[in-house]
Structure 1
Amino acid sequence: MAKRLAQFDINTRIRENAEDLAAALDSHMLKVFAPDARKVLRQFSAGEAAQMLGISTSFLRKLHFDEKIPEVEASSGGRRHYDAETLLEIRKILETTAKVPGTYMRGRRADDKVQVLSFLNFKGGSGKTTSAIHAAQRLALKGLRVLAVDIDPQASLTTLFGYRPEVDFLNSGTIYDAIRYDDPLPFSQIIQKTYFTGIDLAPGGLLLQEFEHETPQALRANVQPAFYARMAAALQEVEDQYDVIIFDCPPQLGYLTLSALCASTGVMITIVPNMLDVASMSQFLQMSADLLDVVSKAGANMTFDFMRFLINRYEPNDGPQQQVVAFLRQLFGDEVMVAPMLKSTAISDAGLTQQTIYEVERAAFHRQTYDRALDSLNLVNDEIESLLQQAWGR
C-alpha cells in the first residue's frame, strides 16, 4: 500500500521557507561583503579610466606628468588605479578647459529638464532590472547624476545596490512612503546614498504592494493628487539634483507602473527575442494603450521624448532569434535600439555575487567573454545616453 503524503499548512511552510531563505541570504551577504555586509566599488585601471573619460591613455599619463590632475594610488609595478570619485574630479578639471561645453561633464544644463526613464515589460524575466542598473552605472561613470528608483515590490534593484529590503526597509524607507495616500514623507527622506559614486537610490520593498491595494479606495474617495500624478509630484522636490531618474518597474501593468509612466520622459521596453515573448508584448502594448488612454483623459501628461524597444539576452548565432529581431526591426523601425544586449555568462555569473559587469574585475572571467559582455553593454548604454542628449537638444 502506497504511503500517504503528510499534509501541512501552506502558510506555515511558506513562512518557514521565507525565514530560512532570509537567513541564508544574510549569511551570503556577510561572506561576500564582510565585514560590514555593504558593497564597495572597485578601482579602475588606467585603460578603463581613459575609456570612461573619453581620452587616450597617453593623454591621461600626460595629465599626470604635467600635474594637472591629482595623483592616484599605484601598484608596485607603477600601474595607476582610479576610484569613481577621482574620475569625477578629473572630469570637472578637464571640463574647465574643454573647447566644447559638456565634453566631459555631460549632464543637463540650466535650461534642460530632468530625463526620467522607465524600464518596463509585462513579462517577468525580460531583463528590466539588469538593463536598468547597468544603464544607471554607465551613465554615472560618464559623469551624470543618477537617481535609481525601485518601484518593484520584489526590490531586485535595491538588493543589487547592497541592501536587504526584507530587513533594511521592512516597515519603512521605501518609495511607498513618498507616494502613499496617508501622510506621505518628503521624497528626500527616503533617498539612500549608494556605494556607487553618482548614484542615489529610492528603495523598493514589499510595502510598495500597499499602493496597489490602497489606490482603488483612494480613487473612490477622490484623493488628490490621483495615483497617476503622485510619483511626478513626489519627484519634483528632488529632480533638480539629478540629470536622469531611472525607474525599474514591476513585471505588471498596475498602478505603480502607470504612475512611473506618467512621470517619465522616455520609455525602454525590454524584450527577449522569441515569439512567445513577442506575443506577450503584443498584449502588454494593447493593455498599456488602453489604460494610458484612461489616465490621459483624466488629465495625465502623456508627452514623451522617446520610446525604444531594447533587445535583451540576444544570441547572435541563434537563427530563430535573428528572425525575430529582423521582424521587430521591420515592424518598428528606428524604435528598436541599434545595439542589442547580448546574453552572456559574464553577466549572469556576476549576478551570483550581486554585482554587475561594471563592478566585477576582468580577471575573474575569461577575457574574451568579459570583453564581449562589456562591449555589448557599453554600446547599449551609450545609445541610451545619446537619446538623453538628443532630448536635451544636443
Structure 2
Amino acid sequence: MLLAAEHDETSAEKIARHSDLLSRQLQSLREKMYPPEAMKKLKTFSSREVAGLLGIAESSLRQLSLNGEAVIPERLDNGRRIYTLSQINELRRYLAEKRPADSLRLDPRRRHGEKMQVLAVANFKGGSAKTTTTVHLAHYLALQGLRVLAIDLDPQASLSAMFGYQPEFDVDENQTLYAAIRYDDDERVPLSHVIRKTYFDGLDLVPGNLELMEYEHETPQAIAQGLSRGDGMFFRRMSTVLKEVENDYDVVLVDAPPQLGYLTLGALYAATGIVITVHPAMLDVSSMNQFLSMTSELLAVIEEAGGTLSHDFVRYLLTRHTPHDVPQVNVAALLRGLFGEDVLAASIVETTAIANAGLEKKSLYEVERGNMTRDTLNRALESVDAANTEVFQLIKQVWGRP
C-alpha cells in the first residue's frame, strides 16, 4: 500500500513537498531561537573585552566612562559596564581623534589612497569550511573596526543563513547580487538596493538564494547575443557594480559558489586577494588540484579576452585541521613545502566549538562565555583569531602600513 501511495506522487512533487516541510520547520525553529522579532542580535561586550579590542588599559576605559567621555555604557546590577559594538566603534573614532599618533591602530579603516580590498573565499570541494571561514573573517574584521560588506554568491545561501536570513522566506526576487549584475536593463537595480544592514555594526550583507543560478543560465545566451561587452562583460560585471559602493567599505568578502561557473569567475576577477580554503586530507587536496588547474585555464581565457588579473595576494588556509592526525600533518607539511609562505602560518583546527556554534547559526565571536567550556572556546578562538589576524596583516600590507 505504501508503494502504491508513493506512485501517486511524482518525484518532483515529493521533493517539492519535502522542501516546503523543511523550510517551514526551519522558519519555526528560527522564530523560537530569536523571539519575538525572529532576528539575530549581537551580544554585548565587557570592559575587559572592549579594552582588548581597543588595545588600551581597562583602567583607561573605566576612566573614560567615569568622565562621561565618548559613550555611556550600560551598567548591570553588579556594577559592571557593558558596551555594544556600535559604542566600541564610537570609542575608536573618539580615541583616534584624541591620540593622532595611534589613530591607525585605534581606527584602522582605510584612508585616502588605500584601495578597497575584495577577498574571494573559494574552493569547489565541499567540507573545506569556506562559508565558516568567510563569516568568521567578516565578524573579526568588523570587530576590528573595519567597514565590511559580505556577499553571498552561493545559491545554497549558507552565509545568509549564518546572518539569520532563511533564503526562501527572507530573500525575495531580485534581492541578491543577481539583481545588480543581470543582463536585462529594465530589471537591474543598483547594488545599494540589495545591501542589507546586519546586527553587526559596520558589517553589511548582500544575501543569496537560488535566484543566483539565473546568472549561470543567462550568461551563455547573453554572450551569444553580444550583451556581454566592455564593463558589462560577464566577468567584469561584479567588479563594475562594486565600484558603486567603493567609498562605503574597507573590505568586501565574497563567499564564492562551490563550482567554477560564471559567478565564481566574476568573483575571482573582482578580487584583489584570494583565500583558498583546504582541508588537509589527500582526497581534498586532489580535488583542490583540479580546482587550481581549471581556474588557471579559465583565468587565462579571461586574460585573452582582455581582462587584466592582478591579485595582491593568493593564500591557502588549512581548515578543519587536526594537529595530532599524522596523515593530516603530512599533507599540511606537503602543502607548506610546495607553496611556502602562500600557505597561511595559522590553521583553523577541527573543534566542537565551531560546530556547536554553527548549529545556532553563530560564529565563535557571537558565543556568550559560559555557553561552552572556557578552555574549548579559548582554544578555538585562538586558532580562528590567528588565521584572521594574518589576513588582516596582509590587507594592511597592501595599504602600505607598517
- Which TM class, normalised by the smaller chain length? over 0.9
| TM-score, L = length of structure 2 | 0.95
Alignment of 1:159-178 (within 5 A): 159-178=161-180
> Is residue 384 of structure 2 the alignment partner of residue 382 of structure 1?
no
Q: CA deviation at 1:231?
A: 0.2
- The 5 A counterparts of 1:225-304 are 225-304=232-311
- Do 2:260 and 2:295's aligned partners in 1 also have CA atoms closer than 8 Å? yes
Aligned residue among 211, 217, 220 for 1:213:
217
User: Is 2:34 the counterpart of 1:15?
Assistant: no
Runs of 4+ in 1 over 4 A off after TM superposition: 3-6
Residue of structure 1 equivalent to 2:144: 142
In structure 2, the residue corresponding to 1:269 is in which secondary structure? strand
RMSD: 1.4
Deviation at 1:69, TM superposition (A): 3.6
Q: Deviations over 1:69-98 (max 9, x none)?
A: 423112222211111000000101110123
Q: Could you tell me which amino acid in structure 1 is paired with residue 168 of structure 2?
A: E
CA distance in 2, matches of 1:326, 1:91: 40
Partner of 1:153: 155
SS of structure 1 residue aligned to 2:276: strand
- Determine if contact 2:65/2:73 at 8 Å carries over to the other structure: no
What corresponds to 1:83 in structure 2? 84
Matches for 1:1-394 after TM superposition, within 5 Å: 6-7=6-7, 8-98=9-99, 99-183=101-185, 184-223=188-227, 224=229, 225-394=232-401
SS at match of 1:110: coil
Instruction: Name whichever of 169-178 and 238-247 sits farther off.
Output: 169-178
Is the 8 Å Cα contact of residues 166 and 205 (structure 1) preserved in structure 2?
A: yes
Distance, in Å, in 2 between the alignment partners of 1:243 and 1:332 is 28
Tell me the distance in 1 between the aligned counterparts of 2:12 and 2:194: 32
Q: 1:76 to 1:237 in 2, by over 3 A?
A: same
Q: How many residues align?
A: 392
| Structure 1 SS opposite 2:274 | strand
Q: CA deviation at 1:9?
A: 1.6
- What secondary structure, in the 3-state scheme, does the structure 1 residue paired with 2:385 have? helix
Most deviating of 155-164 and 27-36: 155-164
Deviations along 1:225-245, one digit per CA (max 9) or x if unpaired, are 111000011111111100000
> Structure 2 regions of 5+ residues with no counterpart?
none
More displaced 10-residue stretch of structure 1: 367-376 or 60-69: 60-69
- TM-aligned CA deviation for residue 367 of structure 1: 0.6
Please report the TM-score for the alignment, with normalisation by the length of structure 1.
0.97
Q: Percent identity?
A: 46
**SS of the residue 1:326 aligns to:** helix
* Deviation digits for residues 212-269 of structure 1 (CA, Å, limit 9, x no counterpart): 0001111111213111000011111111100000000110010000001110100000
Q: SS of 2:79's equivalent?
A: coil
Retained in 2: the 8 A contact 1:136–1:148? Answer: yes
Partner AA of 1:30 in structure 2? E
Aligned-residue offset at 1:6: 4.8
Q: Return the alpha-carbon distance in structure 1 between the equivalents of residues 324 and 45 of structure 2.
A: 32
Q: Show CA shifts across 1:17-73 (max 9, x none).
A: 000000100100110001111111110112211111122323322333444342311
Shift of 1:163: 1.3
Cα distance in 2 between the residues matched to 1:105 and 1:131 = 24
Moved more, 306-315 or 95-104: 95-104
Report which stretch shifted further, 86-95 or 165-174.
165-174
Residue 170 of structure 1 contacts residue 207 of structure 1 at CA under 8 Å; is this kept in 2? Answer: no
**What is the identity, as a one-letter code, of the residue corresponding to 1:205?**
N
Q: For residues 58 and 386 of structure 2, what CA distance do their matches in structure 1 show? A: 20
Structure 1: gaps spanning 5 or more residues = none
Do the aligned residues in 2 keep the contact of 1:170 with 1:206 (CA within 8 Å)?
Answer: no
Distance 1:19 1:333 in 2: 48
Question: How far does residue 172 in structure 1 lie from its aligned partner after superposition?
Answer: 2.3
Q: Are the equivalent residues in 1 in contact too, given 2:121–2:274 (CA < 8 A)? A: yes
**Whole-angstrom CA distance in 2 between matches of 1:69 and 1:61:** 12
| Distance in 2 between residues matched to 1:6 and 1:136, nearest whole Å | 45
Letter paired with 1:120: A
Q: Distance in 1 between matches of 2:319 and 2:127?
A: 10
* CA deviation map 1:345-382 (0-9, x unaligned): 11111111111111110110011001111111111111
Deviation at 1:4, TM superposition (A): 8.8
Does the 8 Å contact 1:149/1:203 carry over to 2? yes
Q: Match for 1:180: what amino acid?
A: R
Return the letter of the residue paired with 2:148.
Answer: V
2:48 and 2:391 map into 1 onto residues whose CA distance is 23
